[in-house]
Amino acid sequence: MAQADTTDGTTGSTGPWNGSAPWNGRRPRPRSRWRDGRTWRRGSLTATLAVAVALVMAFHTSVPDSVGNIGSLVETFLPWFGLAVPLLLVVGLLRRSALTLVAVVVPTLVWLDLFGGLVTGKSAPGGNLTVLTHNVDAANPDPAATTRHVLAAHAGIVALEELTGRALPVYERGLAGAYPYHAVEGTVGLWSRYPIRDTQPVDIKLGWVRAMRTTVATPYGDVAVYVAHMPSVRVHLKGGFTAGQRDVSAAALGEAIASEPLHDVILLGDLNGTMNDRSLAPLTSQLRSAQGAAGDGFGFSWPARFPMARIDQIMVKGVVPTTSWVLPDSGSDHRPVAATVEVGP
């Protein structure tokens, strides 16, 4: 029996012919990109990038500082490497790359290991002393407003950095009613509800005073309180992340604290570095961060309008942090940070 001619010039059943069976009248369904046999080959570059991000986070201490202090720069903004995870995940989904989706698990696990503990709240009840530190900004246009923000925290001890001759009288007048005791050394100062003694500057190898030490006689025992403003760091196209002077000052401050005779020590100040920054090892090796021990979230304090890093620190030895938090924008380029600690046995 003769077959009917088809529209494409072949013989057989009407419609397209697949070479093996008569056409059933249905248009073939396109194969899904998830089942096209290439999901484990597609996206190799994105998968490699995911693994590279994981390696940088996991081995950030191995990133060299010899070229532009790149290691310290990476460590300053290390938590933000986690943003690569959702970006890579989206790329993997768009490209239908199973290889990428599996690779993204690696930086996810590394980030959670490093910073997962900061996502959950660690504050606890208790504590008998609240302390606050704030870089008030030498160019602050309204120190009186900043003073009101500081007073609203009701701290027992307040440390201020970047004090200027013009603004210092404003802070002294504004804080006098709540803090009957205060001392200023160079551009840093401390205000206290409790008596202070043995105040002296601390040499952090700058040539001028940006650090001090005093004894605060709290009702729960004497506490050595250090206030410091580490030299600023800069990012230059030619010089990279310039932090050499900051590192020298951190080492000098670390030596001073190591020789401190009192058991209870609190360091307040703008350290111009995060707890991940290896250059602050002279401090982080003997003190712990109140925010890391008792904070809720990352506690970013700088820049004030859109905080991206925690460079204002409250660090302790001997006392136990129970709560740590960041205050709202006060008009400075930094945000104030505060913590409640337990002093005494």
Average pLDDT score over residue span 195-218: 97
Q: Residue 138 burial (CB < 10 Å; 0-12/13-18/19+)? A: middle
Percent over 90 (pLDDT), the chain: 70
* 129-342 homologous superfamily: Endonuclease/exonuclease/phosphatase (3.60.10.10)
Mean pLDDT computed over 34-45 = 72
Contact 211, 182 (CB under 8 A): no
* Nearest partner of 219 among 156, 165, 159, judged by Cα: 156
Q: Which helix (H) or strand (E) holds 314?
A: strand 312-317
> Given a cut of 50, is residue 198 above it in pLDDT?
yes
The residue-averaged pLDDT of 176-193 equals 98
Contact 295, 118 (CB under 8 A): yes
Q: Kindly report the backbone phi and psi dihedral angles of residue 325, in degrees, each rounded to the nearest multiple of 5, phi listed first.
A: -155, 165
Q: Are 232 and 247 in contact (CB under 8 A)?
A: no
Residue-level pLDDT at 192:
98
Cis geometry, peptide bond prior to residue 303 (ω within 30 degrees of 0): yes
Q: What gap in Å lies between CA 74 and CA 245, rounded to an integer?
A: 18
pLDDT band at 234 (very low <50, low <70, confident <90, very high): low
> Tell me: the pLDDT tens digits for 109-164?
999 999 988 887 788 999 999 999 999 999 999 999 999 999 999 999 999 999 99
Cα–Cα–Cα angle for 155, 157, 163, rounded to 5 degrees: 110
If you average pLDDT over residues 3-15, what whole number do you get?
Answer: 47
**Residues 6 or more apart in contact with residue 21 via CB below 8 angstroms:** none
Dig out the tokens for 63 from the structure.
Answer: 């990133």
Average pLDDT in the 276-289 region? 94
pLDDT, mean of residues 250-278: 96
Helix (H) or strand (E) holding 214: strand 211-218
String of DSSP letters for 239-304 = TEEE-HHHHHHHHHHHHHHHT--SS-EEEEEE-SS-TT-GGGHHHHTT-EEHHHHHBSS----BSS
pLDDT tens for residues 65-99? Answer: 766 678 878 888 999 999 999 999 999 999 889 89
Tell me how far apart the alpha carbons of residues 288 and 315 are, in angstroms, rounded to a whole number: 5
Q: What is the pLDDT of residue 247?
A: 87
Separation CA 99–CA 224 (nearest Å) = 55
**How many percent of the chain have pLDDT more than 70?**
84
Pair of tokens at residue 73? 């720069």
> Domain coordinates of the chain in residue numbers?
35-119, 129-342
Picking from 70-74, 100-104, 266-270, 293-297, which range would have the lowest pLDDT averaged per residue?
70-74
For the chain, what is the mean pLDDT? 88
- 216: Cα separation from own chain's centroid: 29
Q: What are phi and psi of 267, to 5 degrees?
A: -110, 125
Please report the pLDDT score of residue 235 as a whole number. Answer: 57
